[in-house]
Amino acid sequence: MRAIYLVGFMGSGKSTFGKKLADGLGIAFYDLDQVIESKAGITIPQLFQEWGEIRFREYEAEVLRSFVKEDKDFVLACGGGTPCFHDSMDWMNAHGYTFFIDTPFAETEERLKGTEANRPVLKALRQGKNDDSLHQLYIKRREIYLQAASILGPESLNVNEVIHMLNS
């Protein structure tokens, strides 16, 4: 079984790259946020609202772990917080291959503009409900993402090269 996990900050481009990678490898692509939404039957912002973040993180870790029980190959784009709770970075490293999509902060910030309604963590940061600023959270989480098996910065974010690397 080939399990490939993509981690990185909100707006780093995990899903865009993940789809291309899965297509190139001829295997399934999943977006963890979408899987969570379809299993729960409500959106991520509603889950944060109704359950609170602690319960959301438990559910997210549970859905993540359910993937390897199904014996098939996949590329999974995680949510920005997925590896940062319930030891999920270690878990992914132990159960497949991890890539960190290492997009510079300025580019990430630009892409996140106007997406607060779909991103409760970003919305809380913007409203000053969190102790961290967006940049502080980016720096903190980057330490965790850096534990991935492979780091793909803007210059190495090339689907064909990554496929070559995985197949060699």
Binding site for ligand S3P (CB under 6 A): 10, 33, 44, 79-81, 119-121
Nearest C-alpha neighbor of 7 from the set 165, 143, 136: 143
Closest residue to ligand S3P in the complex (CB): 79
Residues 118 and 44 sit within 8 Å (Cβ to Cβ): yes
Q: 37 or 73, CB closer to ligand S3P?
A: 37
Q: 80 or 96, CB closer to ligand S3P?
A: 80
- DSSP state letter for 31: E
| Nearest approach, Cβ of residue 45 and ligand S3P (Å) | 7
Q: 25 or 47, CB closer to ligand S3P?
A: 47
CA distance 156 to 36: 30
| Nearest approach, Cβ of residue 79 and ligand S3P (Å) | 2
Q: 79 or 96, CB closer to ligand S3P?
A: 79
Q: CA gyration radius for the chain?
A: 15
| Nearest approach, Cβ of residue 44 and ligand S3P (Å) | 5
Which helix (H) or strand (E) is 117 found in, with range? none
CA distance 54 to 145: 20
| Nearest approach, Cβ of residue 22 and ligand S3P (Å) | 16
